[in-house]
Chains A and B, each alone.
Chain A
């Protein structure tokens, strides 16, 4: 029914959904893991688009309960109208913190790289303190970190320093840059070693460019200015790299920051070019497979595996590439535990006032994991893995570990 009367190109069609696109359907409230677990949280609809209509830059941020949003983004994944619900909440949360000031705890938790530097430099001591009950009581009292929350172990040899000594492959088909993130650098070098080994096995030379914390810990601790500073440093350092090669990240939330949040939440100019070249490492390996370039000469891995999809992975909009990849491995018995958010949401479940809530959110997942039984519970996100180990007493791993095993790396 196109007529000559109107020139279609002159008709404006709004592409980005605004707060006006919210139809009040409440789909977001029904999936919110926090709203499901406590009746004092008013839910993403009320704190996001509803309250947003009454917020103005000149006025103080007053919506109570904002700090109960854990930042999982499931509201945005669910929204039929693609409203950036969580971004409204984050901005208001951040504005409130700027006006009222932040606690020492939130100041520290937003600086993962600083914590990592201190932790790895004093690794034996830091690890002793972090697992010492008396020290943990003091930490809860004076800092506000819950005493029962296991904290990650720091390692003396960082990934950065390991990689400097790592011999480069003699020949390669192409190069890829690795955004390893604070977790791999200070807490889990082994995962980074596995990532490098798997990429090199497939004829890809790994480059490790200079990088800063992705900024997500700062975002979720209401310090978007700090996150923006980190993000700007990464955009400056990594954009020239991205002109020459793809960038892969092995942490779900780091990857999402680079891909999406630098541009959308933090408004960092020019970040789109970096985002367009960033891939989750499992997404990247699946692309290799579809291009016929992945070495699928796998050893049998006779294991019972459960897969927990991190909430932020859903926001990537790429499906579950880890499940697709692992199903290529002979012997693997893989099943998804589809019980929603694990509850930890980065540093959320570490805090003394949020710990119980975080465990309640994850309780469905813990029960399902215990009932199903497995050799490993797999999750792409490191804090999901910590939470599943703590809550369900299971052994967890990044999906890369299974792939490495199939390639014969013990």
Chain B
């Protein structure tokens, strides 16, 4: 099939790219090999949490810190995207969230410091409004609330960890029961989120919680399960019923906060007439005379060629199968280039789970226009642009910059694709 621009990927960078192209009035098709980690893992847009992966002091002003990072490291993907793209993409997303009915907060000149499910303070730049009452720059005491039988959030763990890491240190934990969830039922955050949309369930939980809370100034942290399809109403009603500020904490997969964001943005694009090709992994690019003429999708039974004037490759490196690792080489699915090699395959991982993982750094080398490049720095195809996790040479986990990098490069790659 034919289109102006084809965006390959399902993550935040792909969505940002598709939105940018849609706003320009050009035709865009989204090619989805399966869903990305955004769908089940994600919660906030982190622009820059730490200046380097081993820094301990969080960044206070992410916009300014990115500008300094760009000056310091001219080949960093943020530098390739440019500070203008960082600012424009944050505006783009906040406007889009608003238009799509998602209530988010944040600005590039400050970071929230929000507690995670394990009680670690985490810097993040843009966040759903349902999370921001957890900001640790506020002094109010925190009560973490879990649910009996719900295994993905332990309030006691979150409380004991946060106590050690937060100067105010006034933290405690309670557990309440979720009506209808007996001891022999295995359930996840999705089940709870659906139940929370039911007023009687919500009120029963709120009543237990009110009884257990002492002090008028406390705020309550609950796992991110307050509604799936009507989160704004569900959150407001629950907060009213409890009578204290509530904040949600993202859970391990499936993350309801991520699902809300993803499903809403996807539907919003589809409502605007953008077509999504589901279940069709791209597995080859046809390149002649330095231009990509089509990409081939593995559709059922046969290959489906997608012909576009330009392409945005916005795959995550590993999660959605962008890269294929053999014993010695890692290859990309389009140009089948060896983009990394290892004499010893175990060199791809670090000994400790918590250190910077070498495999995170694997990805396409880039030109200044975000084109995937060969070892001499020449573009593999002049009309293909790269965004998000498939870029080489940065550590999104250690520096807490995955979301900001995704939207900035998604935006910039889309602008380049429109000009190509």
Contacts and interface: CB of A to CB of B under 8 A. Distances in A.
B38 to A, nearest CB: 10
Contacts of A15: 324
Interface string A147-159: 0000000000000
Contacts of A11: 326-329, 338
B335 interface: no
A5 interface: yes
Interface string B187-198: 110110010000
Contacts of B278: 77, 314-315, 317, 319
Contacts of A17: 321
A377 interface: no
A243 interface: no
B37 A25 contact: yes
Interface string A77-91: 111111000000000
A317 B326 contact: no
Interface in A306-327: 314-320, 323-324
A256 B328 contact: no
Interface stretch (B85-93, B111-119, B154-162, B297-305): B297-305
Contacts of A14: 324
Nearest to A42: B186
Contacts of B339: 1
B412 interface: no
Interface in B18-37: 29, 33-37
Contacts of A36: 190, 194
A126 to B, nearest CB: 34
B212 interface: no
A1 B358 CA distance: 15
A256 B300 contact: yes
B254 A80 contact: no
A368 to B, nearest CB: 11
Contacts of B279: 76-77, 314-317
A3 interface: yes
A338 interface: yes
Given A77-B34, A78-B34, A80-B319, A318 B329 contact: no
B379 interface: no
Contacts of B319: 23, 80-81
Interface in A15-46: 15, 17, 23, 25-27, 29-30, 36, 39, 42
Given A26-B40, A260-B300, A318-B299, A78 B35 contact: yes
A286 B1 contact: yes
A5 B301 contact: no
A14 B271 CA distance: 37
Interface string A253-283: 0001011100000000000000111100000
Given A77-B34, A317-B297, A13 B1 contact: no
Given A29-B254, A42-B186, A6 B341 contact: yes
B108 to A, nearest CB: 30
A379 B268 CA distance: 21
Q: Which of A77, A278, A315, A317 has the most CB of B within 10 A?
A: A317
Interface in A60-106: 76-82
Nearest to A8: B338
B178 to A, nearest CB: 12
B280 A317 contact: yes
Interface string B263-274: 000010011000
Contacts of B331: 8, 13
Given A1-B375, A30-B259, A82-B321, A6 B329 contact: yes
Contact of A317 (B36, B39, B194, B298): B298
A316 B300 contact: yes
A2 B336 CA distance: 12
Contacts, number: 141
A393 to B, nearest CB: 23
A12 interface: yes
A218 B297 CA distance: 29
A258 B302 CA distance: 11
Interface string A111-137: 000000000000000000000000000
A159 to B, nearest CB: 24
B276 interface: yes
A290 interface: yes
B138 interface: no
Nearest to A278: B301
B1 A290 contact: yes
Contacts of B253: 25-27
B193 to A, nearest CB: 10
A327 to B, nearest CB: 8
B281 interface: yes
A286 B276 CA distance: 16
A375 interface: no
B275 A320 contact: yes
B2 interface: yes
A155 to B, nearest CB: 30
Contact of B300 (A23, A39, A275): A275
Contacts of B107: none
B299 A80 contact: no
Nearest to A6: B328
A30 B329 contact: no
B98 interface: no
Interface string B301-332: 11010000000000000011100111111010
A315 B191 CA distance: 26
A336 interface: yes
Contacts of A77: 34, 278-279
Given A78-B34, A290-B1, A318-B277, 11 more contacts: A1-B339, A13-B329, A25-B37, A30-B190, A80-B39, A81-B321, A259-B301, A260-B301, A275-B302, A317-B298, A318-B300
9 contacts: A1-B340, A8-B329, A14-B324, A78-B35, A79-B34, A256-B300, A258-B301, A317-B280, A320-B275
Interface of B: 1-2, 29, 33-37, 39-41, 185-188, 190-191, 194, 253-254, 259, 267, 270-271, 275-281, 297-302, 304, 319-321, 324-329, 331, 337-341, 343, 375
